[in-house]
Chains A and B, each alone.
Chain A
Amino acid sequence: MEPTGPNERAAWIFDVQRFSVHDGPGIRTTVFLQGCPLRCAWCQNPESFTPGRQLMLFPEVCMECRACSSVCPLGGAGPPTEGDGRAGACTVCGACVEVCPMAARQMVGQKMSGQEIFELVMRDRPFYGQDGGVTFCGGEPLLQWRFIAPIADLMRRQGLHVTVDTCAAVPQQTVEAVPGRLDLVLADLKLIDSEKHLHWTGQDNTGILAAIRYWDREMPGRLWISVPIIPGVHDKEEIEKIGGFLATLKNEPVVRILPFERFGESKYGALGMSKPAIVGDVEPLVEGARTVFLQQGLNLMVY
């Protein structure tokens, strides 16, 4: 697959968060791109799956004013408290979003040009200091490498620290291009057992492990590994395997544990999707992972 975005001069963005503090060092702006090759069962950003506009509905704040009903060209919009709330053949025209006083209807996904992203990110230039900057996140930002790379160059020339938060399931060409063009890579390592990986994310992990090894070799000190810990997905054995793999990496990347969070669950409902069936207590698993990783001598980052 060619590493190309839907449009090389613009990309589908679903959020830009300023004063971001968990996506790399310092104060950062995180740019969230849509589109992802994986479908992790626990994903907290379902609006990132496919590029494009998507209508999100939040019944909790709806005041049942029916302003939406009166403007929907298909006549199907209505209070999400009384049913789905969107027209059956909804064209995501946005008319209902425009009039909704409560922001109970929101349109997510907008095309932004590289220039627009650059300007927005540069608003916080004075706060980045030496270590802060921008993180491209997603979705899978590296799917749109041709879009990101020139913006990253421009930002780095301005002294920004540029990072990408990736699932590492990206074409080899892109993997190889990254070390020379970015300051830091935050790569996910979800599972070592390839079959499990296929089962839970929709792809096996051969390419992912290769990419991580490559980056470890080619960008020492500039690789952070994020390990999501999900109840019902990870067990002690799997955690030990992950630790074992990480221990074989030569340049001791920073390792972060990302415990499963439920903060994104309401978004599934808002998009009309069913929410992931993740049950169980994450804390004991996280505790276990911490112990294992420390025992294995990993460079664990503790919050």
Chain B
Amino acid sequence: MEGRLTEITSIVDRSGSMDSVLDEDKNLATVEHDFTELTKGLDLDFRTEILRDRVRRFEDDADPFVRGRIATQVYRDLSDLPVVLKRAEIMARVLETIQPVVLPEEKILGAVYRRRRVHEGISDPDAWRVRVAFPEQHGYDERWPLPEAVRQELKWWANRKTDRQGANPLRQKNAWLAKYAIANPHGSVNGHTLPDHGILLEAGIGELRRQIAERLEGVVTDPQHNQLKAMDRCLEGLSIYCLRCAKTAREQADQMDDPALKTRLEEAATNCETLASDPPTDFYGALQLIFFSNFVDLTDNPGDAYSYGRIDRLLYPFYRSDLDSGRLTPEDAFELVCYFLIKIWGAQPSVNLTVGGVDEHGEDATNDLSTLFLEAMETTEMTVDLSVRLHRNTPEAFLRTVTRVVRKGFGRPSLYNDDVTVEALIRTDIEAADARDYAPLGCVEVMIPGRSAYRTMSMGLSLPKVLELVLNGGRCLVTGDRVWEDVPEQFENFETLLLEYRKRVRAILELGVEIIRVDEKIEPGIRPRPWLTVLSRGGIEDAVDLTAGQPKYDPVGVTLDGVADIVNSLYVVRKLVFSDERVTLDELRDALRANWEGYEGLRQYVINRLPRFGQDDPELNAIARAETDHYATCFEGKKTFYGGQFWPMIFGVSTSLIYGRAPKTGATPSGRCRGETLAMSFQPSPAGPQGCATAMLRSITAIDFLKFPGGVSNVQEIDPSLVQGEDGMQRLVNLIRGFFDLGGMEVSLNFLDGKTLREAQQNPDRHRHLMVRLFGLSAQFVNLSPKVQESVIERVESASRRPLSGG
């Protein structure tokens, strides 16, 4: 105990002395405290152990029916209410109804949705939890395991149209895009959000409501009036929720014998009471309010990804002033952040928190909290979706902390390269200061907090499917349907084939853009977002909904699914048919139509004897560069409905098994059979020899990421034995630095072996802590559906398969 005290005192001393010599600006850009040392001496409150256990058993998970019932009541009983007020009413009523949920061990109060699924189908058993909460979108489903009273109420939706059905006639007309798994264009905010929580932290609920009241005075039009009223209703709901949490905590405090817990509950209650009207006055209050702010978003968000933004920057002023006034020690702050992370953890979180990076002037903005969040994640082992922004001037010590946590093997944090991402954003229409303030939302999508709408993941183009159609006279190999009538059956040379293929890609993207624009246009009429508008800069002033073009920027992020299968396939066609003339185009087509049956020799030759993407082969690298460039170029000059730009992305989530794409894509020239996984993003094709880590990373950087401002997902598997020990740590630092120096944009690393995963399948209870990194999010392995578990194991195991000979 004494040692601990000395340590704290010495830290306080250090910070005290630094104050006198550093001016404020410099304080903002330094990591002052060595939290590694600090956490070593720290015997974390035993209660966090209990708490971790309780949250992993989902004890404070909110009732999934509450929102579903309320939405039903509002749509049923208040059908004349303008939609923006309906949405606000649902949110407010949820906040007035849902259990406050106070676990006595915790410091941050409020309900959570820990079991929400980010992407449906990843974990089948719990998928209904999101659907039942959003019946206006998903309707009613007999199979949901509902209590009878709830079922009766939700049945109201049984024969009703949900708000999405039929909304976009252009999508319906082009249903073939999804039917044949070619692309999946959509242009709504769709659950991925990145509000500026700083607006609420700075002003507080009361002040924002005052601003709305003031703004209402000058308003004459109905839409503006409704918008402002809706925004106010959300704030009112939140205020009430603060008080309800406070009340519950007080009641528990009164019953509590343990004096320490009693005090803790009382402090929590006071904290929430203050926040009901005022801005937070300290670090604790700021953490509580930002948690609430995020929760309000969740009540309106059908289950995807809701992000905190640059949390180290948002909270720093509170932390700083607490330290300065001596109210808080770095150790207290660390403990609070541990509680916060435990609070926001989920089985499959896509709740992105960002730390590190540059400030608006491009200077390093890493601060104490950047380190503290990393250390807290390491200590609590609560793997939230932490993202770290790095750049060429990131302090070496911080990079080492990051690397250490990366090596723990949570699959997090994911790492972003500011030097590339900021430049990519500036090349669109983003002002430099805003570009430098980007943050990932959801998994790895890039947006500007509070200054952009959050339309992202909006294309899902599968290039292997396009090639399939082009190679087969426009026919789909799976259904046999002729999708395009006018594709030539023969090609004189590879160039004409490539031109035809690119022409089709462009046509699909042009059509996709039109579908997206219709979605954008109709969205405010279906699903306006009054809460997000409160947290959008200028939202109150403009009195226009976020979905209706209110934000400063209106980009739409458009995804390309994966690179390896198309690059390998194009190479194989060129090499086998046109350069080596080993087979004719007809023979290759016969093999593909037969799903390679009877052509095993050829298939094996392709897999084992030809170079593949990821081995740093110059020819394959060149194809990867050219085809990704072509994809990005197709969006040049196109405008989103509200006048923004399309931001190309490379992010394969919908590929593979998840949306059933693999079975809808026929055999590919790369040697893949129908139904087998399509490699997503930059993953190598599962079959055949693969390149080592450096070869893989070099192959990826053949792509010009300055053309992909919307973000990319790059999950790499690394054999843990290669990065052991102090030397291994330095190697990992070098690997990351090297990748970013080469123009890499993002990377997340998994250090897993197939054996551990298989063991976890056998004994899920013993492996509840095991988190794996999927396309962009990390998820509790034992909670994944068996199918997805298998695909993770397959990926991990294939990563350890290296070629025998590299020379």
Contacts and interface: CB of A to CB of B under 8 A. Distances in A.
Given A25-B727, A26-B734, A126-B742, A101 B609 contact: yes
A112 interface: yes
A223 B609 CA distance: 40
Contacts of B626: none
A129 B733 contact: yes
A63 B599 CA distance: 12
A14 to B, nearest CB: 6
Contact of A19 (B605, B693, B724, B737): B693
B728 A124 contact: no
B602 A27 contact: no
Interface stretch (A86-94, A103-111, A272-280): A103-111
A127 B738 contact: yes
Contact of A101 (B608, B693, B735, B804): B608
Interface in A12-62: 13-19, 21, 25-27, 32
B694 A67 contact: no
Interface string B704-747: 00000000000000000010110110110111011101100000
Given A15-B805, A126-B738, A129-B734, A102 B693 contact: no
A63 B609 CA distance: 14
Given A17-B806, A303-B725, A27 B609 contact: no
A74 interface: no
B604 A102 contact: yes
Contact of B695 (A19, A99, A126, A131): A19
B300 interface: no
A268 to B, nearest CB: 14
Contacts of B603: 101
Interface string B738-777: 1101100000000000000000000000000000000000
Contact of A14 (B602, B609, B737, B805): B805
Nearest to A98: B609
A250 interface: no
B698 interface: yes
Given A16-B806, A18-B692, A124-B694, A65 B601 contact: yes
A132 B805 CA distance: 21
A99 B609 CA distance: 9
A267 to B, nearest CB: 9
Contact of A63 (B601, B616, B739): B601
B807 interface: yes
Interface string B772-807: 000000000000000000000000000000001111
Contacts of A21: 722, 727-728, 731
A128 interface: yes
A123 B698 contact: yes
Contacts of A17: 692, 806
Interface size class of A (residues with CB under 8 A): 20 to 34
A56 to B, nearest CB: 9
A299 to B, nearest CB: 15
Given A124-B694, A129-B737, A100 B806 contact: no
Contact of B807 (A16, A63, A99): A16
B807 A110 contact: yes
Interface string A126-170: 111101100000000000000000000000000000000000000
Nearest to B728: A21
B735 A27 contact: yes
B807 A103 contact: no
Contact of A18 (B602, B694, B742, B804): B694
Contacts of A32: 807
A132 B737 CA distance: 13
Given A102-B608, A124-B694, A18 B806 contact: yes
Indicate the member of B602, B737, B738 with the most A CB atoms within 10 Å: B738
A127 B722 contact: no
B219 to A, nearest CB: 57
B734 A15 contact: no
B727 A26 contact: yes
A100 B605 CA distance: 7
A127 B602 contact: no
Contact of A108 (B725, B742, B805): B805
Nearest to B608: A103
Given A27-B694, A101-B604, A101-B605, A132 B807 contact: no
Nearest to A47: B805
Contacts of A110: 807
Indicate the member of A14, A126, A128 with the most B CB atoms within 10 Å: A126
Contact of B806 (A15, A25, A127, A128): A15
A15 B804 CA distance: 9
A124 B742 CA distance: 10
B602 A101 contact: yes
B600 interface: yes
Contacts of B600: 63, 101
B674 to A, nearest CB: 20
B731 A27 contact: yes
Given A19-B692, A124-B698, A128-B738, 16 more contacts: A14-B807, A16-B806, A17-B692, A18-B694, A21-B731, A25-B727, A27-B731, A27-B735, A101-B601, A101-B605, A103-B609, A106-B804, A123-B616, A124-B738, A129-B733, A129-B734
10 contacts: A18-B692, A19-B694, A26-B731, A108-B807, A124-B694, A126-B737, A126-B738, A127-B734, A132-B734, A303-B724
Interface of B: 600-605, 608-609, 616, 692-695, 697-698, 722, 724-725, 727-728, 730-731, 733-735, 737-739, 741-742, 804-807
Interface of A: 13-19, 21, 25-27, 32, 63, 65, 67, 99-103, 106, 108, 110, 112, 123-124, 126-129, 131-132, 303
Q: Which 3 A-B pairs have the closest CB atoms?
A: A127-B738, A126-B738, A129-B734
